[in-house]
């Protein structure tokens, strides 16, 4: 990543992460929570492509009760980066991963007797009481013990004295759409499990079910913690969920004009000759392509130059796109281009990029490859 010949940014295309906006987003989210609820900062997949270590430092500074990741490798990266906060691992663990959990203090979320047994043995051998969160499947049908089988599992918690059952969690399948019917069913199932646990004197310090959608739209489901991924990054999980004043996207993608070219009528642009100039046109080449995660579209999409929209022409190459700047005659070599984010009064949102990919904002965010340097605005 470092070079003997530093240029900043290291190339003519980069991802910019605005850390003051992240701080503000987390403040806005905290202010919207009741005083009895904290938050977990969900940082899987390099904090949705934003840079997990940088986001983790700010989440920790803002008092996240846990940082949540999915793989042990992601967690080790944060530990080696100096992060001391409690880390919760989502997803499922292979038995061989528990040694690393103990070594790096990674709290697993578990849902089987086999995993309790294995972790209990290892923790007991080190004379430790190791925390775990129990994962309840209330209808997502992914990880976790099914809600109606949870009492049988929880009834056996006392067989594992080296485990400290500090958390219990579930996950919504649909929390950010207008129709909350199934989310409410899931919430009822979770509450039933919690009541059963209470009735047998099993007390969990941390009860959590909300993701960003649940946090925004289901205040009755906040419990002790909400798990915040996308909302902290300033992006709403859907078009219809509640809006919070002050939440702003923290990611932009920028580049510089790397070539300018005048086309005569009849000349074509790019592979497959997908665009043909009908009249005299001016084309700017931008040094970012599908090899950087830009959607592989043709004659579709726009970028911002001098606060104006320039349409893509031709196909997207691995390392370059071409845009028509005929109507932006002030364009010069190395002018700044915005591919995602605001410029002047215009904005290209992650939802616009997602539409080009026929996908959702989450997928569009994680699509920017590590090849694009991340520049952190502090």
Residue 170 or 331 having the CB closest to ligand PLP: 170
Site string for ligand PLP, 213-242 (x = CB under 6 A): x-------------xxxxx-----x-----
Task: Name the segment binding ligand PLP (CB under 6 A); options: 52-60, 125-133, 210-218, 281-289.
Answer: 210-218
Residue 189 or 227 having the CB closest to ligand PLP: 227
236: annotated active-site residue: no
Out of 50, 57, 133, 171, the only residue in the binding site for ligand PLP (CB under 6 A) is: 171
Contact 357, 294 (CB under 8 A): no
Site string for ligand PLP, 45-84 (x = CB under 6 A): ----------------------------------------
The set of residues, in sequence order, having a beta carbon less than 8 Å from that of 31 and lying 6+ positions away, is none
Out of 25, 212, 322, 343, the only residue in the binding site for ligand PLP (CB under 6 A) is: 212
Site string for ligand PLP, 13-52 (x = CB under 6 A): -----------------------------x-x--------
Nearest Cα to Cα of residue 286 among 241, 345, 339? 339
> Tokens in use for 254?
């920028």
Say which of 4, 44, 254, 342 is annotated catalytic.
Answer: 44
Number of Cβ within 10 Å of residue 49's Cβ equals 22
Smallest distance, Å, CB 327 to ligand PLP? 38
The set of residues, in sequence order, having a beta carbon less than 8 Å from that of 114 and lying 6+ positions away, is 95
| Main-chain dihedrals φ then ψ at residue 41, nearest 5 degrees | -95, 115
Alpha-carbon separation of residue 206 from 40, 133, 188, 311 (angstroms): 11, 8, 18, 49
Under the criterion CB under 6 A, does residue 331 sit at the interface with ligand PLP? no
Task: Name the segment binding ligand PLP (CB under 6 A); options: 3-11, 25-33, 189-197, 206-214.
Answer: 206-214
Alpha-carbon separation of residue 79 from 13, 64, 82, 92 (angstroms): 30, 16, 5, 20
Contact 126, 107 (CB under 8 A): no
Residue 70 or 124 having the CB closest to ligand PLP: 70
Residue 59 or 321 having the CB closest to ligand PLP: 59
Between CA 129 and CA 149 the distance in angstroms is 25
The set of residues, in sequence order, having a beta carbon less than 8 Å from that of 297 and lying 6+ positions away, is 312, 315, 316, 356
Which residues are tagged catalytic? Answer: 44, 271
Q: Which residues bind ligand PLP (CB under 6 A)?
A: 42, 44, 90, 171, 211-213, 227-231, 237
């Amino acid at each position: 990543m470092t070079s003997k010949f530093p240029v900043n940014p290291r190339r003519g295309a980069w991802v910019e992460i605005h850390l003051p906006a992240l701080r503000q987003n987390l403040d806005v989210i905290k202010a919207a929570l009741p005083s009895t609820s904290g938050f977990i900062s969900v940082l899987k997949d390099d904090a949705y492509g934003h840079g997990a270590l940088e986001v983790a430092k700010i989440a920790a500074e803002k008092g996240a009760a846990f940082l949540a990741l999915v793989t042990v490798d992601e967690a080790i990266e944060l530990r080696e980066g100096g992060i001391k906060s409690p880390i919760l691992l989502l997803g499922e663990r292979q038995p061989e991963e528990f040694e690393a959990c103990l070594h790096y203090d990674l709290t697993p979320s578990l849902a089987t007797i086999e995993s309790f047994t294995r972790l209990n043995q290892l923790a007991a051998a080190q004379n430790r009481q190791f925390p775990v969160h129990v994962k309840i499947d209330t209808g997502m049908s992914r990880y976790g013990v099914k809600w109606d089988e949870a009492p049988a599992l929880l009834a056996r918690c006392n067989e594992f004295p080296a485990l400290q059952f500090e958390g219990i969690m579930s996950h919504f399948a649909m929390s950010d759409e207008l129709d909350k019917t199934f989310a409410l069913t899931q919430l009822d199932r979770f509450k039933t499990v919690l009541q059963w646990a209470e009735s047998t004197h099993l007390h969990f310090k941390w009860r959590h079910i909300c993701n960003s959608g649940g946090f925004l739209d289901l205040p009755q489901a906040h419990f002790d913690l909400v798990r915040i991924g996308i909302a902290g990054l300033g992006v709403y999980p859907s078009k219809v969920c509640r809006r919070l004043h002050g939440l702003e996207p923290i990611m932009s993608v920028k580049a510089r004009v790397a070539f300018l070219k005048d086309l005569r009528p009849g000349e074509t642009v790019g592979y497959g000759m997908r665009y043909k100039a009908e009249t005299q046109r001016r084309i700017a080449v931008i040094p970012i392509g599908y090899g950087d995660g830009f959607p592989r579209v043709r004659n579709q999409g726009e970028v911002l130059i001098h606060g104006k929209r320039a349409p893509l022409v031709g196909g997207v190459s691995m390392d370059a796109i071409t845009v028509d700047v005929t109507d932006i005659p002030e364009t010069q070599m190395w002018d700044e281009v915005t591919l995602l984010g605001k410029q002047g009064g215009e904005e290209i949102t992650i939802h616009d990029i997602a539409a080009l990919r026929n996908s959702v904002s989450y997928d569009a965010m994680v699509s920017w490859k590590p090849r694009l340097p991340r520049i952190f605005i502090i």
